[in-house]
Amino acid sequence: MDVREQLNILGRMGENPSFAGKIREINRFPLMARGIDILQINLGRRCNLSCRHCHVNAGPDRTEIMERPILEKCLQVLETFPIATIDITGGSPEMNPHLEWFITEAARLNRRLIVRSNLTLLCEESYRYFMNVFVQNKVEIVTSLPDYLASKSDRQRGQGSFGKVIAALRELNTRGYGRKDSGLVINIVHNPVGAYLPGSQAALEHEYRERLRTEHGLSFSHLFCITNLPVGRYLDYLMESGNYEDYLRTLWHSFNPDAVDHVMCRTTLSVGWDGSLYDCDFNQMLGLTVNHGAPDNIMNFDMNRLKHREIVINNHCYGCVAGSGSSCQGATTGA
Please give the residue ranges that form the binding site for ligand SF4 (CB under 6 A). 47, 49-51, 54, 56, 58, 90-92, 118, 144, 263-265, 279-280, 282-283, 311, 313, 316-317, 320
Contact 141, 172 (CB under 8 A): yes
173 vs 327, beta carbon nearer ligand SF4: 327
Q: Shortest Cβ distance from residue 22 to ligand SF4 (Å)?
A: 11
Dihedral angle computed from the Cα positions of residues 95, 101, 107 and 108, in that order, rounded to the nearest 10 degrees: -170
C-alpha 186 chain-centroid distance: 15
The 3-class secondary structure across 151-169, one letter per residue, is HHHHHHHCCCHHHHHHHHH
124 vs 210, beta carbon nearer ligand SF4: 124
265 vs 306, beta carbon nearer ligand SF4: 265
CA 37 → CA 2, 84, 144, 192, 312, distances in Å?
31, 5, 23, 28, 18
Q: Shortest Cβ distance from residue 110 to ligand SF4 (Å)?
A: 27
Other CB atoms within 10 Å distance of the CB of residue 308:
12
212 vs 317, beta carbon nearer ligand SF4: 317
Q: Shortest Cβ distance from residue 313 to ligand SF4 (Å)?
A: 5
Q: Give the residues across from 142 on adjacent strands.
A: 116, 187
221 vs 289, beta carbon nearer ligand SF4: 289
87 vs 279, beta carbon nearer ligand SF4: 279
Q: Shortest Cβ distance from residue 194 to ligand SF4 (Å)?
A: 16
How far the first Cα of the chain sits from its last, in Å, is: 34
Q: Shortest Cβ distance from residue 200 to ligand SF4 (Å)?
A: 21
- Sheet with strand 85-89: strands edge to edge: 223-225, 186-190, 140-144, 112-116, 85-89, 38-42, 268-271, 277-278
Q: Shortest Cβ distance from residue 51 to ligand SF4 (Å)?
A: 3
